[in-house]
Structure 1
């Protein structure tokens, strides 16, 4: 699998790891919208993989994957969005989603398809019909990245609130109160950029109602 250099941006702001600790993110879109830490792109046609990756690499850190082993090797806690061809030979798409969300609970997976599909009949979060218009590609990844960030922040908020409810030591409670306040502001910031259905979906998944 070819490695790609990490894009460096002048935008710096708070994102959250799986424990709720803040970390500096250099992967924001140029218009200030949340961007995923990493996007994985894989299609059964290597030329399509390269085309989509080239477009997205102007804004994001991208990992191109050319076979099933590449895809699985690309998955870690930094991945927020996966663009995945379900017809990639040898690939178990369910294994990809399971492994991706074990690494990063908010990870969003979009199918790269040749025709429209009924999302309700699949486990995919979205889909893109090939050939994909470049502006539609970017807007879809932007939306999925915001949704991924919202879901991750929700999960951390629930975990932190649960810990806060059982802690008796004063300093630790104060620390958790500060973290909850920070998380609440972070969620509000993301929510303003989400439409109702995206926020609803993220909230349901945060409570464990996942297909």
Structure 2
């Protein structure tokens, strides 16, 4: 249950801070500010709940963990429930603070009526490729050979960079739960287009996970004594 609540709270926080930055402060902070809000929110949650649940807070990440054998189907299902309900709660908080959904809730989308007017194909390609790259960062940063203590920083910064590149394409999902919460409350076109932000991230997660499962991206795990501890290294400088 502690892992369930950690994933719920983590996903709630990601949507609250990320979509909240877009809805409540978008004009002031701009694209870079929104991107950093998503990245910093994930970075903070990685260190806050990472030791409890691994801080997936993303159904695509949990799918990748299942494909690579790091979690069971039952665990993945419970994580998904926590993530989707957490995202919905986070979007509801943004709506309550913003005083309604008239201005949107940072929902994802594509087409002539959305942001940069990118097409369905361009949006699908973006979400698939970026999710695959995001999953590669996560799986690599949390692998046995990774530098100890650096995963949260790498993952948070990668999400920020993805948002800097793609906010005008789809608003950036790479996370079905993040798309689900705002879309359910906003309805209309956001809900009609929600399928893309389930399908494309799932394909991307599968591609990224396959590279690790079939050892196309892998190395020999280092003995514990040989792994670099960033805290210790900092004191040695």
TM-score normalised by L of structure 1? 0.29
Using CA pairs below 8 Å that are at least 6 residues apart, which structure has the higher relative contact order? 2
Whose strand fraction is larger, Structure 1's or Structure 2's? 1
